[in-house]
Structure 1
Amino acid sequence: MKKILFIEDEPTIQKAISRFLEQEGYEVKNALDGELGLEIAKKMIPDLILLDLILPKKNGFEVLKELKKDDSTKNIPVIALTNLEESDNIEKVLSLGATAYLIKANYKLEEIVEKIKQVLNQ
């Protein structure tokens, strides 16, 4: 079973997406802030990380930088899942090493799962 870490500070969104991913056969671990997300990532070494960018304690940009600097987490694919639509943010996140950038409002749950499957080659 593939493991996904979902770092998202909005509990309603986190529950809905996590539940859907679990129904699709993924093991999901959640973190409500960037600091906790980093801590879990280093212990869990998930197969994929879904990362919001606007987070308490450490924002998604900082989390991504730290993930890519650490030997134990640098090869984990990261999908940014956010509502920040500005092209500057998209370019910055991709240049920091994210595999994909999805704008929450533009994607249905099924489409998010399809993207995850693509990234995990499933």
Structure 2
Amino acid sequence: MKTVLLIEDESALQKTIGDALGQEGFSVLSALDGEAGLRLAKDKLPDVILLDLILPKANGFDVLRTLKGHEETKHIPVVVLTNLESMEDVQKALDLGAMSYLVKANYKLEEVIEKVRQAL
């Protein structure tokens, strides 16, 4: 079973996405802030990470930079799922190593799950 780490501070959205991923056969780990997400990523080494950018304690850009800077986590594909939609933010996330960048308002849940599958 493939494991997805969902780093998302909106608990309702985290539950919705987590439940949907679980129904699709994924094991889901969840973190409500950037620091907890980094700890889980390093401890559990998930197969893919779904990352919000606007997070408490450590923002998503910092999380991405840290993940890609460590030998044990740099290979883990990261799909960014956020409300930030400026081209500058998109480019920054991709430059830091994100595999995909999804703006929450523009994607259905099924499309998010498909991006997770593509990242594996």
- TM-superposition CA deviations, 1:24-68 (whole Å, max 9, x none): 000000000000000000000000000000000000000000000
**Matched residue, 1:77:** 77
Paired with 1:118 and 1:34, the residues of 2 have a C-alpha distance of: 24
**Matched residue, 1:67:** 67
- TM-superposition CA deviations, 1:71-109 (whole Å, max 9, x none): 000000000000101000000000000000001111111
**Matched residue, 1:56:** 56
Q: How does 1:20-39 map to 2 (within 5 A)?
A: 20-39=20-39
CA RMSD of aligned residues (A): 0.4
Paired with 2:52 and 2:105, the residues of 1 have a C-alpha distance of: 13
Q: How big is the shift at 1:117? A: 1.1
Q: How does 1:1-122 map to 2 (within 5 A)?
A: 1-120=1-120
Paired with 1:63 and 1:107, the residues of 2 have a C-alpha distance of: 23
Paired with 1:74 and 1:18, the residues of 2 have a C-alpha distance of: 23
Q: Size of the alignment, in residue pairs?
A: 120
SS at match of 1:55: coil
Paired with 1:90 and 1:68, the residues of 2 have a C-alpha distance of: 17
SS at match of 2:97: coil
Structure 1 runs (4+) deviating above 6 angstroms are none
SS at match of 1:25: coil
Structure 1: stretches of 5+ with no match in the other structure: none
Letter in 2 for 1:88: E
Structure 2: stretches of 5+ with no match in the other structure: none
* TM-score between both structures, scaled by the size of structure 1: 0.97
Aligned identity (percent) is: 59
Letter in 2 for 1:16: T
